[in-house]
Structure 1
């Protein structure tokens, strides 16, 4: 505070110097000068000494300005909607910003879901990446988003392109991150070496990170954490060999498949000049 504060009653509330106000708001005096020029945060100017003073009530004004500036609102928007004194226009403006934030939150949640699920999958893959299928117990429950394959035949990604598109649209409608994406083979077809896709799937969530996903009727919880898993890359040869190794281990361990065989594509790149590169995580629940 300072003794240079004007004593007139009309300006007595303006008792914070520009420097003090900047420190209280954790901002710079340059920012305050910019807001003053824009007419959205105007201090009292002492005609005798030329100093600028702010009031405690303007702390709230600064908070609102900072909040809406962080939402990419221009100074003109703030001046028009926040400081116009029209309650209805202000309400509409706040509602618009709220809706925008909800959309941003949804996008961030989807990105977090993608990164979180991928991290957990990669962690599991590091444990299982030993060149051949193994029995494994998932540390957390897994929930899948499923879309039935309607195409015939359905033995390659090219043949099920329309089904993949339907799956992506369904995930968008359900606010579920679709990637990484994969396809499943029915257990009976698999055991008969008939590798025909019956569903497109995404891992909607792992564990209890996204309880809202449970409301989706296409969400399928894996019935067991006990599984047979395998990591497959282009260096391992034809994926059919990996499938055969899984079937062999299932018989050797006297296990029964209680789900489809899920082949999740972590990396799947087809380069006409360099061949195909892929990294797949294949799993099925057993009992």
Structure 2
């Protein structure tokens, strides 16, 4: 009979917000091992394993392959692991920044009650506005769409950071 400190595979999967099949798959791939197999074949996990499975699921969410995850988890050298983690941290920070930009746009659309349908969020277009104060760049008036897009992106980054 399992101790109260262990969770059945179904309980653990529910708390970890994954599936039983995923846990079995990671066990088969030697990425995430269970805490105990009972005599009846039932699988059990400890609460302490939630952090590790959360990290593994997060890496998968970032698009890392099973082999890449295995590589991260198998490194015993902290220096080597830190070298691997640095680009991963940068990837996560870039993703957060991109999501913050999208969130800023959605908040603006929501506050102005603008329809999201038929809206080109990432298309730079030239437009001519009546003379007034508005966002502008350091570029000349006949700059390319690529230059406009780059300037717009830079201004959004500044808004998000403010």
Q: Same fold (TM over 0.5)?
A: yes
The match for 2:140 among 141, 148, 160 is 148
Residues 85-96 of structure 1: matches in 2 within 5 Å?
Answer: 85-96=76-87
Q: Is the 8 A contact 2:36 2:45 kept in 1?
A: no
Gap regions ≥5 residues in structure 2: 116-131
User: How far, CA to CA, are the matches of 2:66 and 2:83 in structure 1?
Assistant: 17
2:144 is matched with which residue: 154, 158, 164?
Answer: 164
Note if contact 2:100-2:160 (Cα within 8 Å) is conserved in structure 1: no
Q: 1:177 aligns with which of 150, 153, 157?
A: 153
User: Aligned-pair distance for 1:83?
Assistant: 3.4
Alpha-carbon spacing, 1:27–1:112, altered in 2? closer, same or farther (3 Å): closer
Determine if contact 2:104/2:160 at 8 Å carries over to the other structure. no
**Aligned residue pair count:** 143
What is the CA distance between 1:58 and its match in structure 2?
Answer: 0.9
State the Cα RMSD in Å.
3.7
- Normalised TM-score (structure 1): 0.40
Runs in 1 of length 4+ with deviation above 6 angstroms?
none
Structure 1 gap segments, 5+ residues each: 6-11, 124-137, 150-159, 179-203, 214-287
CA separation in 1, counterparts of 2:89 and 2:81?
A: 12
Q: 2: distance between equivalents of 1:46 and 1:211?
A: 49
- Pick the structure with more strand per residue: 1
Equivalent residue for 2:14? 23
